[in-house]
Amino acid sequence: MTGQTDPRDDLPDHLSALRAFAISLCGDVSMADDLVQDTIVKAWTNIEKFTVGTNMRAWLFTILRNTFYSMKRKRKREVPDSDGLLAGRLCEKPAHDGRLAFNDFRRAFSQLSPEHREVLILAGASGFSYEDVAQMTGVAVGTVKSRVNRARARLSDILGLAEGEDPVSGADAATIAVIGAAGVRAA
């Protein structure tokens, strides 16, 4: 059995990604470090639950997000929800040069619910498939897809950009209605 390797040897390879996911998820570096530490200890002591040959990163991310939600539930009892405070703060309109300023984006991202941040990071930034994300978050693939869409729409909303909507068209329609009504009266 000399060919048998310990899957725990692969854990260091995932440290950076785990921490990046943790930071993106909770937006707080010290909480992120606690999360990564708990995740590594859990993975280490429960390594027999990992199926060799499957995606270790997905397995670790799943442990981390589950730890995050239970930590959050615990902390909620102790301190008021900071998400609510953040969400109430409006960010200024983006500069109209057609590009999103990264700082505005980051601020808007931090105002999303953890569920929305999670799904955007997993499916949008870290390259997991919808199927992977569904498995990791314990919901159906369809739910992942609609959650991604809602998260994007919410982001656009906070950034003051209505997705696929032209703000001028409303005014145009009103103008057309007035012209139309005038036309009817004249006739």
Nearer to other proteins, 99 or 185 (CB): 99
Nearer to other proteins, 162 or 178 (CB): 162
Footprint of other proteins on this chain (CB under 8 A)? 8, 11-12, 15-17, 19-21, 23-24, 33, 36-37, 40-41, 44, 99-100, 102, 105-106, 109, 120-121, 124-126, 152, 155-156, 161, 163-166
DSSP string, the chain: -TT---GGGGGGGGHHHHHHHHHHHHS-HHHHHHHHHHHHHHHHHTGGGS-TTS-HHHHHHHHHHHHHHHHHHHHHHHS--HHHHHHHSPPPPPPSSSS--HHHHHHHHHTS-HHHHHHIIIIIIS---HHHHHHHHTS-HHHHHHHHHHHHHHHHHHTT--TT--HHHHHHHHHHHHHHHHHHHH-
Nearer to other proteins, 120 or 133 (CB): 120
Closest CB 51 distance from other proteins, rounded Å? 21
Nearer to other proteins, 11 or 31 (CB): 11
Closest CB 125 distance from other proteins, rounded Å? 4
Closest CB 139 distance from other proteins, rounded Å? 20
Closest CB 30 distance from other proteins, rounded Å? 10
